[in-house]
């Protein structure tokens, strides 16, 4: 599964709340809800996040094998 846990750490490092992040990125509420539930979202959004924060993909998402849920 894909986890957005690294994004939460990135937000903490940048002193941003989830709400501030969603507003800054202009992400829909349904997309943000999917992110916080570790569900799939469009790669374009992940790309936009990496561009905005000038960070690596690993600062946004990580792969977690299903047996580690």
The per-residue pLDDT for range 8-66, each reduced to its tens digit, is 999 999 999 999 999 999 999 999 999 999 999 999 999 999 999 999 999 999 999 98
For residue 14, what is the domain's CATH number? 1.10.260.40
Structural domain range at position 50: 2-68
Q: How many domains is the chain built from?
A: 1
Q: What is the DSSP letter of 8?
A: H
For the chain, the first-to-last Cα distance in angstroms comes to 8
Q: How far apart are CA 14 and CA 6, in angstroms?
A: 12
């Amino acid at each position: 599964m894909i986890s957005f846990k690294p994004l939460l750490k990135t937000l903490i490092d940048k002193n941003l709340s989830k709400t501030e992040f969603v507003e800054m990125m202009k992400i829909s509420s349904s997309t943000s809800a999917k992110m916080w539930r570790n569900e799939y979202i469009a790669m374009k959004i992940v790309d936009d996040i990496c561009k905005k924060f000038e960070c690596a993909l690993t600062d946004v998402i990580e792969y977690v094998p299903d047996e580690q849920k």
